Amino acid sequence: MLTHPYLAGDGPVLLAHRGGSTEVVENSLAAIEHTRRLGVTYLETDAHATRDGVVVLHHDANLGRLTGVRAEIADLTWRELSSIADHSGSPPVRLDEALASFPELRFNVDAKSDDVVAPLAELARRNLERIGLASFSDTRLARIRALAPGVSTSTGQSETARLVALSRLPRGAALAARRPLAPTCLQVPLRHRGIPVVTARLLDLAHSLGLEVHVWTVDDPAEMVRLLDLGVDGLVTDVPSTAIRVLGARGPWR
């Protein structure tokens, strides 16, 4: 399986979901520091853009849940946003500053809005080995790939659904191979509406297409072990401290 420089390394990938949102305030400066302190290389995070085009790490479009301030990120300039603290006591984090301040970390960034695509793609284009991009929106991912050729991306919602469906067909791999894929990884939930998504057949199909498979969000140690035994390439988790103990007992991990 070909490996993109962003995903280079031995063993499965451990991605701290929003920096480990069960262990620290999600997507905060404290979360990034927590990720580094644990020795985790990959931080899964989310991005919105301010009114003046600054990419900030935040899951919700509105600040209310994490700051108590009912304002939309897209309505504020960075100067205005930088005066608002989240529950950890710091303002939202700029992605460009995180890249500069934490050179050992790699960021798996979910583009949460249309207006973040262009500035996020520009940062990714200049940091191909340190930024991987994701989105549920196939349209956003298409724009990202056009603006940042060579960037590592996950599959969008339609791409994912197609691969899951094909994995259940006898000739699924042959049918999938007829349509070249741009992504480097398949990032999927354990289940969708109660139906298992991550199966041995899906893994076989993804690997035959050169895609890594990362599963979210996995917090139970027994589930982590089961998935690793099944052959997944990465775990996205809210409890990176727990995942480290599981992965550390099994050999090298990224």
* Catalytic (active-site) positions: 17, 59
d(CA 32, CA 24): 9
What separation in angstroms does the CA of 152 have from each of 81, 148, 172, 173? 29, 9, 24, 22
**Angle CA(48)–CA(51)–CA(52) in degrees, nearest 5?**
105
Question: In this structure, which amino acid lies at residue 144?
Answer: I
The closest alpha carbon to 121, from 91, 151, 99, belongs to 151
The pair phi, psi for residue 88, each rounded to 5°, is -90, -10
Contacts of 211 (CB under 8 A, 6+ apart): 1, 155, 181, 183, 184, 185, 186
The count of other CB atoms within 10 Å of the CB of residue 104 is: 10
What separation in angstroms does the CA of 119 have from each of 48, 55, 122? 10, 7, 5
**Burial class for 54, CB neighbours closer than 10 Å (0-12, 13-18, 19+):** buried
